Structures are given as structure tokens and as C-alpha cells.
Amino acid sequence: MADPMEDRITIELGERSYTVIAGEGLLDRICEVVPAATATQIAIITDGTVGPLYVPGLAASLRDAGVPVVAIEVDPGEASKDLPTVALLLDFLAETNLTRNDLVVAVGGGVVGDLTGFVASIFKRGVRVIQVPTTLMSQVDSAIGGKTGVNLPQGKNLVGTFHQPIAVLSDITTLNTLPDRQLASGLAEVAKYSFLRPDLWDKPLGQSAADLRGRDRVELIRVVRTCSRIKGELVSRDERDTADRIVLNYGHTLGHALESATGYGERYSHGEAVAVGMVFAAIVSEMTGRSEPGMRQRHADTLAPLGLPVRPFEPAPSFGDILAAMRHDKKSGGDLVMVLLAGEGKPVVARQLDESILEKCYHLLLEGV
Ligand code: NAD
Ligand code: GLY
């Protein structure tokens, strides 16, 4: 098992390989870990909540190293992941005269990371980007792997690119200011990694739930590093998401459908929807005979102590609405595709699932454990 105290994780992608550094107090040390010297200018993109908290310190470190820094804030929240905001940011980079040798730094959660990565990938046909994720969700998932994108009115993440960062700096100190609900949302993705790769965890996640919710620094560092390693392995094997990487979608088929059927509003955080989606996937795994009975219960026993729902909030969408949303999922290509578990640590991709079985499983989900 990899040493959870090792703070550097290499994402192996040949000449585009990069390092994820996960630990404490890293923002002040950004110059030690990023090649600021090779840029004549750095543009920081952040949001209106994260900017005032973390950008002054980060910018001061960079300026102390002699690199001019400019910064721009977008409105916090998913609504900023859109094309008008992309246009605004491109204007900003052009006005700043950012060159192709310069750097863009994304400081924020997954919204800022996805948006900034996308803008960096298209400005002057691509400039380098460093991801500085400040939510647990972004530290364990979205900042790593190079998927960038924005939403269209027709759906989420419909416009995007693959653009790997040149470094990821995950400072868990930033999680101290994260609202509880956002922390729990990230813990859903952590739980996903624990179901996919239980062999990489030295103890069951449920045993760390209270410490994680209490923001115990040692536990947070351990999970951010372990998840970064798991994601990194999958990205190295399948950068373009044509094979193995799909298992990262565990819990996301129903999760995305819940988010879509409820209008991507405040009703579900992404992690809450994924948590319910993983319980659903566990039920489908059991009901289709892929896994032994008990999978659903083990999921609930892991997720509930993390502060996550294990059934849809009331009033729940009808199965008809859920089915329609699942069919529209970008991954489905018209078929119903779900990642299931043939046992913990044994993800399998199921296609053309029987709708009547899914309906039965959805009703079992609504009944609760
Ligand atoms: P987010 O970026 O909206 O951040 C959540 C909220 O927390 C925002 O209001 C933000 O301002 C605030 N915030 C961020 N860091 C903070 C901090 N340290 N202290 C206080 N407040 C802070 O949400 P998220 O959950 O980080 O990311 C969700 C987005 O990530 C979605 O758009 C999703 O599609 C995307 N995503 C992308 C990938 C990928 O592979 N690219 C993977 C998973 C999710
Ligand atoms: N978050 C899913 C992926 O990066 O593939």
C-alpha cells in the first residue's frame, strides 16, 4: 500500500505527467512547487467567496518571487460554469496580454477548476494551468485528470476539453472554511473511491467519519492523498475516458438524473445526489445478482455517518422522470449504462439494463433501508 504520508503523487501521462501535492500550508509555498520563474505573468481565476480568503496570500507569494500577478473573480456557484463567463474570462486574459508562456492558476472548487481549465485550453490554443482546489470535491476528484468544461442550457458539461494541469496543489488547510454541506458533498466522492478500491484504505471509511466531519487534519490528508492516487491511476490508464475511467462514474447515473430532474438547483449537492446514486447502484447490483446481498446495507452504513442521504429527498422525482434523465446522460449514448459492483473493489459496467428491474430498484430505494 502506498505511503499515505507521501505528499507528492505523480499522474503518469508521458511528457504531460504532473504532480499532485497534497498537504498543509502549501499556498504560501506555491513558488517552491510551481515553475513560476518560467512565466512572465500569472493570471489567477477564482470566485467571489474563495478569492478574498485565499488569493491575497497566494498572490503575495508569487509577487515576492518577482512574477506579476493579475486576478479575476467570478460569481460563486454552478451558474458561472457557462459560455458568457468563458467570454468574460477570455476578454480578461486578452486585455492582460497573457502570452502562451504564461500561467493561469485556478483557485477554488470544481466550478472554478472546470471553467478555468476550459478557458486555459482554448486561449491562444492552450496555455498552462495550475489547479489549486479548495473544496474536498475538487481535491479528491475534479482538479485531477484534465476534464474541463462548462454547461449549456441543454445540459451539464456539454462543452469541454481535456487539458491536463501542469500541477495540482491541494492545501487541506483551505477546507477549514468550507461549509459543512460542501464538506459532506466531497465525502461522497471519497466514499466512492473506498467502494471502488477498498484495498487502498488501511481502515474502513466509516471508522473515520466523525474525524472527517470534524476536519481532523491527519484524516483529511490521508483521504485526499489516497483518492488522488486512485484517480491518478485511472487517468494514467485511460486519459480520454474511453475505458477504465468510466468506473469513476459509480453512483453518477442516478446521481446526475436526480440533479437534472430537480433542475440542478440547491436541492441536491453533487455529492448528495451521488451518495443516493451509489445506494441505488448497490441495490441494482444485488437485484441483478451481480453482488451478494448486503451491499446496500454496507453502503448506507458508510454514507449515513458521513452526513449523506441514502434515499432521495421528499418529494422524490417519479421513476418516469428519472428514467428520462438517465437516458439523456452524456455517457449513455441512448442505452442505460451503469457502473455496478460485483463486490467491493469489483466495479463492472452494465449496459442495456432492464427498465422494469430499474423501476423495482428505484421503489426499493424510495422505501429506505
Ligand atoms: P463549487 O466549486 O461550486 O464550490 C462549492 C461552494 O464552496 C462555492 O460556493 C464556493 O465558492 C465555495 N468554496 C470553495 N472553496 C471554499 C473554501 N475553501 N472555503 C469556503 N467556501 C469555499 O463546487 P464543487 O463541489 O467544488 O465542484 C462542483 C463542480 O465540479 C461541478 O460543476 C461538477 O460538474 C464539477 N466536477 C468536475 C469534475 C471533473 O472531473 N472535471 C469532477 C467532479 C465534479
Ligand atoms: N470525474 C470523473 C472523471 O474525471 O472521469
51-55, 84-88, 178-182, 256-260 — which is least confidently predicted? 256-260
Residue 281: the pLDDT is: 98
| Average confidence score pLDDT of the chain | 93
Residue 28: the pLDDT is: 84
Burial of 291 (0-12, 13-18, 19+ CB in 10 A): buried
Ligand 1 cavity residues, CB under 6 Å? 47, 49-50, 53, 76-78, 81, 108-112, 114, 134-135, 137-138, 141-142, 145, 147, 157, 174, 177-178, 182, 185, 270
Residue 1: the pLDDT is: 53
pLDDT (tens digit, 9 = 90+) per residue, 22-41? Answer: 999 999 888 876 665 577 89
pLDDT (tens digit, 9 = 90+) per residue, 119-167? Answer: 999 999 999 999 999 999 999 999 999 999 999 988 889 999 999 999 9
Residue 334: the pLDDT is: 65
pLDDT over threshold 80, residue 3 = no
pLDDT over threshold 60, residue 16 = yes
Q: Helix, strand or coil for residue 197?
A: coil
Gap between the Cα atoms of 25 and 111, Å rounded: 23
pLDDT (tens digit, 9 = 90+) per residue, 336-356? Answer: 889 999 998 999 999 989 999
Residue 328: the pLDDT is: 77
Residue 330: the pLDDT is: 61
pLDDT over threshold 70, residue 332 = no
CA-closest candidate to residue 59, choices 69, 49, 47: 69
pLDDT average, residue stretch 49-74: 94
pLDDT average, residue stretch 88-103: 96
Ligand 2 cavity residues, CB under 6 Å? 141, 145, 147, 241, 245, 248
pLDDT (tens digit, 9 = 90+) per residue, 305-330? Answer: 999 999 999 999 999 999 999 987 76
- Residue 143 alpha carbon to ligand 1 centre in Å: 10
pLDDT average, residue stretch 246-250: 97
